[in-house]
C-alpha cells in the first residue's frame, strides 16, 4: 500500500476510535457527574460544616501529593503513548506503563512518608494537628488514588475510553452507595475517608489488571524506547506541576485553615467542590483526552506544526461555549442551587461559588494553550510560567486572605490564572499562530448574558425544588435557542460534530 494510502487508513482508524472514545467520555462522564453530585449531596447533608472542611482539606491534599509524587509520569503517558500507538509499538507501551506505575508508587510513597515525618510541625500550623492518626490511615488510600490517576492517563492515551468509563462508573456507584450507608449511620469524618480509600483501591485494580493482561511485556520490540526524550519531557512537566500546586484551590484551603476558622474553611471547601463539579462538564474534562490523543497522533504523522493553529482556535471556541454560560449560571443562580439541591447551611458560600466559577473559566482557557505547547514539547515555557505565578499566587493568598477573607483567596487565584494564561499565550504566539474566533467569542458572551438576566430575575422567585428545576431547564433552553439563532459555532465544525455523533461522513 502507498504511503498516502497508509496515512488515509490510519487517519480513518484514528477518527473512528476518537468518535467512539468521545461518545463514551461524553455520555459516561455526564452520567458519572450526576452520580458525583449525589456524592456531594450526601457529604454536605450528613457532615457538619467543620467536618466537611477537614474532609475537603484532606482530599485536596491528594492533589498536592499527586503533584509532588507523579514525577511527570501522567504527562509522559499522555504525550508518548499516542506516538507509540501511531507507530504500532506495543512493546514500548507495555514496558513504559509498567515502569511509570512503579516510578509513581516509589516517589508518592516517599512524599507521604516525608509529610508524616513533618506532620507535627505542619499540622498545628494548619489547626489540624489532632488528625495525624487519621491522615496516616488515609495515606493508604492516597497511594491507590494516585496510581488510579496514572491509569486514567494510560486509557485515555490509548483511546480506550469505553473501558475506562465502565470501570469508572462502577467505582462511582460503589462510592455513592458506600458514602450513604456509612455517613447515614454516623460514620462521620473517619467513615468518609475510609470510603474514599477503599473506592480507589477497587478503581486501580479494575484499571491495571486488564491492562497487564492485554499488553504483554514480552511483545516484539519495534524501536528503542526514547528514554531521554521521555525523561526530559517528564522532568519539565513535573517541575511545571510543582508550580501548579500553588494555583490549585487547595493552597487557598491551607492558608484559610491557618488564618481563618474551620467554619469559613468549610464554606470555601464546599464552594470549591461545587465549582469543580460544574466545570467537569467542560469539553476539556469530557473529551480532553480524545482531543489530546488525536492532536498528538496527527502531529506525529504529519510532523507539521501548521495543523496546531486550527486545533487551537476550534478548541478555544468550544471550551468557551460551555465554560462561559456555566460561570454566568453560578454567578447569578448559586443561592437557589445551594438552597434547593444541597443544604441551606452552605448558602453563605453562594457568592464565593460565583467568584470561583469565573476563576475556573479563566483556568479552562489554558487547555488549548497546553495542547499547542505540549505538542511542540515546549515544556520549559510551561515550567517557567507556572513557577513565576505560583510565587505570586501564594504571596497574594497570604496578603489578601487576612484583609478580604474568602474573597482574598478568590482574587489571588483568579488573577494568577489570568496572568499565567496571558503570558503563555503571548510567548507561544511568537512562534506559532494562535488565531481567535473573535466573532464567535462575542456571540457566546452575548448569549450567556441574556441567559444570565433570566437567572438573575428568577433567583428571588424560587421557593421549591420543582421551581428550581423549571427555572434551570428554561435558562438552559434560552441559551441553546440563542446559540442556534446566533450560533458561535461555524457550519463546518457543527457538521463534524454531528457526523461524529451519528457516524456520518462529514462534508468538507
DSSP state of 72: T
Which grid coordinates belong to 337?
442551587
- Quickly tell me which residue has 491557618 as its cell: 258
Q: Is residue 257 included in any domain, yes or no?
A: no
Cα angle 338, 344, 348 (rounded to 5 degrees) comes to 80
C-alpha span between 287 and 90 (Å, rounded) = 24
Q: Which of 276, 352, 257, 195 is nearest to 54 (CA)?
A: 257
Point out the domain boundary residue: 210, 245, 280.
245
- Quickly tell me which residue has 503517558 as its cell: 77
Predicted local distance difference test score (pLDDT) of residue 507? 43
Predicted local distance difference test score (pLDDT) of residue 9? 52
Question: From the CB of residue 208, how many other CB atoms can be counted at a distance below 10 Å?
Answer: 19
| Helix, strand counts (H, E) of the chain | 21, 0
Residues written for the chain: 508
Q: Both 346 and 462 in a single domain?
A: yes
Q: Is residue 275 included in any domain, yes or no?
A: yes
In sequence order, what are the residues at sequence separation of 6 or more whose Cβ sits closer than 8 angstroms to the Cβ of residue 278?
Answer: 326, 329, 330, 357, 360
Q: Both 88 and 197 in a single domain?
A: yes
> DSSP secondary structure string, 25-58?
HHHHHHHHHHHHHHHHHHHHHHS-HHHHHHHHHH
Q: Structural domain of residue 306, as residue ranges?
A: 264-508
Q: Is residue 256 included in any domain, yes or no?
A: no
Q: Both 359 and 315 in a single domain?
A: yes
Predicted local distance difference test score (pLDDT) of residue 178? 93
- pLDDT tens for the chain, 508 residues long, are 445 554 555 667 777 777 787 788 878 877 887 888 888 888 888 888 778 777 777 776 776 777 777 778 888 898 899 888 888 888 999 999 999 999 989 988 888 888 888 888 877 766 666 777 777 777 777 888 888 888 988 998 888 888 989 999 999 999 999 999 998 888 888 888 888 888 988 999 999 999 998 888 887 887 888 888 888 888 877 776 665 555 556 677 778 878 887 788 888 888 888 888 888 778 888 777 788 888 888 877 776 667 788 888 888 998 999 999 999 999 999 899 888 888 788 888 889 999 999 998 988 888 899 888 888 888 788 878 887 888 888 889 899 989 998 999 899 989 988 998 999 999 998 888 888 889 999 999 999 999 999 999 998 888 888 899 999 999 999 999 999 899 887 776 666 655 555 454 444 3
Predicted local distance difference test score (pLDDT) of residue 1? 43
Q: Both 199 and 271 in a single domain?
A: no
Point out the domain boundary residue: 217, 245, 273.
245
Instruction: Say what angle helices 132-157 and 161-184 make with each other, to 10 degrees.
Output: 160
Q: Both 238 and 278 in a single domain?
A: no
**Backbone angles phi and psi of 437, in degrees to 5:** -85, 80
Q: Which of 77, 149, 67, 140 is nearest to 107 (CA)?
A: 67
For the chain, how are helix, strand and coil distributed in percent, rounded to 5? 85, 0, 15
Question: From the CB of residue 112, how many other CB atoms can be counted at a distance below 10 Å?
Answer: 21
> DSSP secondary structure string, 237-260?
HHHHHHHHTTTSHHHHHHHHHHHS
Q: Is 427 exposed, middle or buried (0-12, 13-18, 19+ CB in 10 A)?
A: middle
C-alpha span between 485 and 224 (Å, rounded) = 54
Q: Both 270 and 215 in a single domain?
A: no
Q: Both 356 and 229 in a single domain?
A: no
Point out the domain boundary residue: 212, 245, 278.
245
Q: Is residue 84 within 8 Å of residue 96, measured between CB atoms?
A: yes
- Quickly tell me which residue has 466559577 as its cell: 357
C-alpha span between 24 and 158 (Å, rounded) = 14
- C-alpha dist (Å) from residue 397 to 203, 247, 259, 393: 35, 10, 10, 6
Q: Which of 212, 243, 190 is nearest to 64 (CA)?
A: 243
Q: Is residue 189 included in any domain, yes or no?
A: yes
- C-alpha dist (Å) from residue 161 to 72, 115, 290: 22, 34, 8
Q: Both 224 and 91 in a single domain?
A: yes
Q: Is residue 258 within 8 Å of residue 397, measured between CB atoms?
A: no
Predicted local distance difference test score (pLDDT) of residue 67? 72
C-alpha span between 215 and 101 (Å, rounded) = 14
pLDDT tens sequence across 315-359: 899 899 999 999 999 999 989 988 888 878 888 888 999 999 999
Q: What is the pTM of this model?
A: 0.67
Q: Is residue 255 included in any domain, yes or no?
A: no
Largest CA distance in the chain: 69
C-alpha span between 336 and 347 (Å, rounded) = 9
Q: Each residue of 153-186: b (16+ CB within 10 Å) or e? A: bbbbbbbbbebbbebbeebbeebbebbbebbeee
Q: Is residue 259 included in any domain, yes or no?
A: no
Q: Both 191 and 283 in a single domain?
A: no
Q: Domains in the chain: how many in total? A: 2
Question: From the CB of residue 503, how many other CB atoms can be counted at a distance below 10 Å?
Answer: 10
Q: Which of 104, 85, 101, 103 is nearest to 219 (CA)?
A: 85
> DSSP secondary structure string, 94-119?
HHHHHHHHHHHHHHHHHHHHHHHHTH
Q: Both 292 and 236 in a single domain?
A: no
Q: Is residue 449 included in any domain, yes or no?
A: yes
Q: Is residue 2 included in any domain, yes or no?
A: no
Q: Both 216 and 348 in a single domain?
A: no
Q: Which of 371, 477, 490, 476 is nearest to 440 (CA)?
A: 490
C-alpha span between 475 and 450 (Å, rounded) = 9
Predicted local distance difference test score (pLDDT) of residue 508? 39
Predicted local distance difference test score (pLDDT) of residue 482? 94
Q: Both 158 and 32 in a single domain?
A: yes
Q: Is residue 353 within 8 Å of residue 267, measured between CB atoms?
A: no
pLDDT tens sequence across 11-56: 677 777 777 877 888 788 778 878 888 888 888 888 887 787 777 7
Q: Is 224 exposed, middle or buried (0-12, 13-18, 19+ CB in 10 A)?
A: exposed
Amino acid at each position: 500500500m502507498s504511503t498516502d494510502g497508509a496515512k488515509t487508513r490510519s487517519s480513518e482508524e484514528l477518527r473512528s476510535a476518537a468518535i467512539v472514545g468521545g461518545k463514551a467520555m461524553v455520555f459516561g462522564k455526564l452520567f458519572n457527574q450526576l452520580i458525583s453530585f449525589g456524592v456531594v449531596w450526601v457529604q454536605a447533608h450528613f457532615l457538619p460544616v467543620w467536618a466537611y472542611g477537614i474532609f475537603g482539606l484532606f482530599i485536596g491534599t491528594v492533589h498536592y501529593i499527586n503533584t509532588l509524587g507523579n514525577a511527570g509520569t501522567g504527562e509522559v503517558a499522555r504525550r508518548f503513548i499516542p506516538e507509540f500507538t501511531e507507530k504500532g509499538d506495543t512493546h514500548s507501551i507495555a514496558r513504559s506503563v509498567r515502569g511509570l506505575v512503579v516510578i509513581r508508587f516509589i516517589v508518592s510513597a516517599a512524599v507521604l512518608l516525608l509529610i508524616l515525618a513533618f506532620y507535627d510541625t505542619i499540622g498545628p500550623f494548619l489547626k489540624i494537628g489532632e488528625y495525624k492518626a487519621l491522615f496516616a490511615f488515609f495515606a493508604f488510600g492516597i497511594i491507590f488514588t494516585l496510581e488510579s490517576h496514572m491509569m486514567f492517563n494510560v486509557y485515555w492515551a490509548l483511546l480506550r475510553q469505553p473501558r475506562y468509563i465502565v470501570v469508572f462508573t462502577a467505582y462511582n456507584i460503589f462510592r455513592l452507595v458506600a458514602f450513604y450507608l456509612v455517613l447515614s449511620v454516623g460514620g462521620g469524618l473517619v467513615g468518609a475517608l475510609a470510603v474514599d480509600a477503599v473506592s480507589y483501591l477497587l478503581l486501580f485494580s479494575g484499571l491495571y489488571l486488564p491492562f497487564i493482561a492485554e499488553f504483554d511485556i514480552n511483545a516484539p520490540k519495534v524501536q528503542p524506547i526514547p528514554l531521554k526524550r521521555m525523561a526530559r519531557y517528564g522532568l519539565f512537566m513535573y517541575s511545571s506541576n510543582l508550580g501548579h500546586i500553588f494555583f490549585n484551590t487547595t493552597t487557598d484551603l491551607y492558608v484559610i485553615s491557618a488564618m481563618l476558622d474551620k467554619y469559613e474553611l468549610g464554606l470555601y471547601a464546599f464552594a470549591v467542590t461545587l465549582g469543580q463539579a460544574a466545570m467537569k462538564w467542560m469539553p476539556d474534562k469530557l473529551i480532553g483526552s480524545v482531543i489530546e490523543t488525536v492532536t498528538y497522533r496527527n502531529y506525529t504523522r504529519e510532523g507539521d506544526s501548521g495543523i496546531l493553529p486550527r486545533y487551537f482556535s476550534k478548541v478555544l471556541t468550544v471550551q468557551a461555549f460551555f465554560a462561559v454560560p456555566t460561570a454566568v449560571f453560578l454567578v447569578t443562580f448559586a443561592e437557589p442551587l445551594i438552597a434547593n439541591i444541597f443544604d441551606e447551611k452552605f448558602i453563605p458560600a453562594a457568592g464565593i461559588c460565583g467568584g470561583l466559577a469565573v476563576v475556573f473559566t479563566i483556568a479552562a482557557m489554558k487547555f488549548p494553550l497546553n495542547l499547542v505547547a505540549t505538542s511542540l514539547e515546549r515544556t520549559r515555557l510551561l515550567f517557567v510560567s507556572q513557577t513565576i505565578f505560583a510565587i505570586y499566587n501564594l504571596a497574594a493568598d497570604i496578603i489578601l486572605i487576612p484583609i478580604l477573607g474568602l474573597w482574598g483567596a478568590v482574587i489571588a487565584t483568579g488573577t494568577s490564572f489570568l496572568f499565567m494564561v496571558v503570558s503563555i499565550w503571548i510567548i507561544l504566539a511568537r512562534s506559532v499562530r494562535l488565531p481567535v474566533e473573535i466573532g464567535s467569542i462575542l456571540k457566546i458572551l452575548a448569549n450567556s448574558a441574556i441567559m444570565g438576566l433570566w437567572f438573575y430575575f428568577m433567583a428571588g422567585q424560587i421557593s421549591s425544588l420543582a421551581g428550581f428545576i423549571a427555572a434551570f431547564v428554561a435558562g438552559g433552553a434560552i441559551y441553546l435557542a440563542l446559540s442556534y439563532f446566533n450560533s458561535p459555532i461555524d457550519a463546518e465544525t457543527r457538521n463534524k460534530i454531528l457526523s461524529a455523533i451519528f457516524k456520518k461522513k462529514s462534508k468538507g
